[in-house]
Structure 1
Amino acid sequence: HNSVIDSAVYREGRRVASPTTLAETFRRLREQPEGMAWIGLHRPTESELHSLAAEFNLHPLSIEDALEAHQRPKLERYGDTLFVVLRAARYLDAQEEVDFGELHVFVGPDFLITVRHGAAPDLSSVRRRMEESPDLLSLGPEAALYAILDAVVDGYAPVVAGVQNDMDEIETEVFRGDPEVSRRIYELSREMVEFQRATRPLVGMLHALMAGFAKYGTDEELQRYLRDVADHVTHTSERVDGFRQALTEILTVNATLVSQQQNAEMRALAEAGFEQNEEIKKISSWAAILF
């Protein structure tokens, strides 16, 4: 499969080349002294990652991570290259479940490389939006990183809405005494643990990025945008923590209701047994009289 989804060289925020291979991308970038490459990959091979490492002087540890997948969100700086791991999420309505994707981003002085594992996030729309704002894209690779962070964090909103909907349904099912509800609570709890792992580290990562942006004198406008993303992520993270707590409480309520129901059933059985005994006694005494 072709792992190069889209590769382009930009100058002053405008696309000047659309190479189809990595080798051609490297060549076209060298021809553009003020240019920047934005390379989008989906599940690249080891040799593709090694050719990127050789061209852009990427740290072997970050290459190892990008090959592996299943990384926790993190932000690492190797020399003048940033390595960012993000967990994207999307809500699948039909299955009523959350699907998590993983994204690795390398950001250097004149390049940005994205390595995607999984379906989310949709980066083609991010690139389109940036190409429509050359003023923003001309600020360089950090601007593209901001746009990707923004898209990943924006993608959490429909997930939060979907989960809220599930929570409301689960509450109704608990009080209706639905026998399937325990399984639903456990499944959603497991997804919320995963969602916490995606959002919690991002709060610290964005603050570290903002500190770096300030230190390296990144454009004021970009710093402001990044603050918005950081606020958004903090809010999302708090919502997810709230869901997890609420699910723990719902599980307790459900267990209490189930045991009350079982006690009532045991009492009803005991009473039925007592009545049956009385009937048998009556029948026995009649039998004694008659026979």
Structure 2
Amino acid sequence: MIRIMCRYADGQVEMDAPLERLADLLKEAGNVVWVDMQGRSNSQHERILADVFHFHPLAIEDALKDSHVPKLDDYGTYLYLVFHIVALGAEPMDIDTQEIDVFLGPNYLVTLHEDVRRSIERLWNAEHHVEVGLARGPAMLLYELLDAQIDNFIPLIDAFEEELERLGDDIFRIDQEQRELLNRLLTAKSSALRLVRILAPQRELLGRLSTGEYRVVPSQVRLYYRDIYDHLMRLASLADSMRDLASSTIETHLALVNNRMNEVMKLLTMVSTIFIPLSFLAGVYGMNFEHMPELEIWWFYPLIWGVFLSIALTMLWIFRRKKWL
């Protein structure tokens, strides 16, 4: 789906302008155009980017393919940006990432994304662009879009942090299923690492936009990009802290598992140690020899049991004295 919104020089805003008029709308002085391409990339998208906007073939190729890291390329008269947004996946600690490709020109903004984005839908109304949005130029509209995406990171990171705290409590529960807990911890670490890999380059991207490096970004808009950059700095720091927290939680979990295993092995060793001398005595008097004088003594059976109990109690006393129990 391709949507076109145009704000004319007289302040009128037209939504869903015909695709056939796109080239003329871009040429008219004073017009500001927003083209939103939603869905999987196809030949029509490629044709518009190449024949109408005359973007560089490398930029078009990158825009029509997913799985790029966040980046910013300067082509002189326009900028090409790759920005990533995140959302919680099906599992509590799993995150889903999606790419938004953006072309920013002097009088136009082109956005490409596969799924419906709520932040874009909120801005896709004529009333908003009468005084703000397109009225303040495409660079300011891009700021509004990026600011809305950054705001979506905050509840996600808060939920992520709460789940990490719950996992930190669960590792001390003996009845917790160890394999399931370890899987959740590994998912948390992987998701935290993905957040760092997304936020760190996007922080640098916004840092470059907030400088005077690009002529398509007016000087009065750079301050707004600086504000987003500050937000991303804080979010990237939080994501990095959560990655460290997830790693330390895994290490603590593995240390606790090893400690519990050592306790089990210590108990089994003590039980084996207690029964070794008992087994020796039982083995001796279980031998089938005809001349074994103790077998003729009536009180020898209860004496053997007394020896058994004495050995076991003596070893338990030794273990407790050495604080092994």
Q: TM-score under structure 1 normalisation?
A: 0.87
The 3 A distance-change label for structure 1 pair 126 and 211 is same
CA gap of 1:142–1:125, structure 2 versus 1, over 3 A, is: same
Unaligned residue ranges in structure 1 (runs of 5+): none
More strand by share: 1
Cα 1:8–1:154 change in 2 (3 A) is: same
Please name the residue that 2:77 is paired with.
80
Kindly provide the amino acid, as one letter, of the partner of residue 40 in structure 1.
Answer: D
Mapped partners of 1:112, 1:253: distance in 2? 49
Task: Report SS of the residue matched to 2:212.
Answer: helix
Partner of 2:122: 125
SS at match of 1:7: strand
Measured against aligned partners, the alpha-carbon deviations of 1:88-137 in whole angstroms (never above 9, x if no partner) come to: 01124764421111100001122111011356564112334982662453
Displacement of 1:52 after TM fit? 2.0
Worse-superposed segment, 222-231 or 210-219: 210-219
Tell me which residue corresponds to 1:258.
Answer: 257
Which of 53, 57, 81 is the aligned partner of 2:54?
57
* Structure 2 counterpart of 1:36, from 28, 32, 37: 32
Contact kept, 8 Å, 1:73 with 1:84, in 2: the verdict is yes
CA distance in 2, matches of 1:217, 1:33: 18
Contact 1:121 1:151 in 2 (8 A): no
Give the match for residue 205 of structure 1. Answer: 205
Between structure 1 and structure 2, the one with the greater Rg is 2
The answer for the alignment partner of 2:268 in structure 1 is: 269
Q: Say if 1:216 and 1:125 are closer, same or farther in 2 by CA, change over 3 A.
A: closer
Residues 6 and 32 of structure 2 are in contact (CA less than 8 Å); yes or no, is this contact kept in structure 1?
Answer: yes
Give the distance between the partners of 2:126 and 2:266, measured in 1 at CA: 66
Tell me, in whole angstroms, the C-alpha distance in 2 between the residues paired with 1:137 and 1:115. Answer: 17
For 1:129 and 1:194, the matched residues in 2 are separated by: 36
Equivalence for 1:104: 101
CA shift digits 1:211-240 (9 cap, x unpaired): 1378667252x3332222111111000000
> Which residue number corresponds to residue 149 of structure 2?
152
CA distance in 2, matches of 1:68, 1:130: 33
- Structure 1 range deviating more: 132-141 or 159-168: 132-141
How far apart, in 1, do the equivalents of 2:194 and 2:263 lie?
38
Q: Are the structure 2 counterparts of residues 45 and 93 from structure 1 closer, same or farther at C-alpha, using a change threshold of 3 Å?
A: closer
Q: Does 1:239 align with 2:235?
A: no
Are the aligned partners of 1:77 and 1:83 in contact in 2 as well (CA < 8 Å)? yes
Q: Is the 8 A contact 2:70 2:84 kept in 1?
A: yes
Amino acid at match of 1:59: H
Task: Provide closer, same or farther for how the CA distance between residues 215 and 77 of structure 1 changes in structure 2, counting only shifts above 3 A.
Answer: closer
CA contact (8 A) 1:8 1:19 kept: yes
Post-superposition Cα deviations, 1:175-221, rounded to whole Å, max 9, x if no partner, equal 2243022211111111111111211012221121111378667252x
SS in 2 for 1:103: strand
Contact 2:77 2:216 (C-alpha < 8 Å) held by counterparts: no
Classify the secondary structure of the residue corresponding to 1:263: helix
Check the 8 A contact 2:86/2:97 in 1, yes or no: yes
Query: Secondary structure at the residue paired with 1:49?
Result: helix
Pair 1:285–1:133, CA change in 2 (3 A): farther
Distance 2:110 2:283 in 1: 89
Q: What secondary structure, in the 3-state scheme, does the structure 2 residue paired with 1:198 have?
A: helix
- The answer to whether 1:225 aligns with 2:233 is no
Identical columns (%): 22
| CA displacement 1:119-159 (0-9 Å, x = unmatched) | 65641123349826624531211011111110121111011
Contact 1:84–1:106 (8 Å) recurs in 2: yes
* 1:71 correspondence with 2:68: yes
Aligned length: 285
The residue that corresponds to 1:19 in the other structure is: 17
Contact 2:129-2:135 within 8 A present in 1 as well? no
Distance 1:242 1:126, change over 3 A: farther
More displaced stretch, 134-143 vs 114-123: 114-123
Q: Give how far 1:270 is off.
A: 1.4
CA distance in 1, matches of 2:199, 2:126: 24
Amino acid at match of 2:236: S
1:79 partner SS: coil
Give the alignment's TM-score, normalised by structure 2: 0.79
Q: CA deviation at 1:241?
A: 0.7
Residue 7 to residue 290, structure 1, CA distance change in 2 (3 Å)? farther
| 1:282–1:14 Cα change, 3 Å | farther
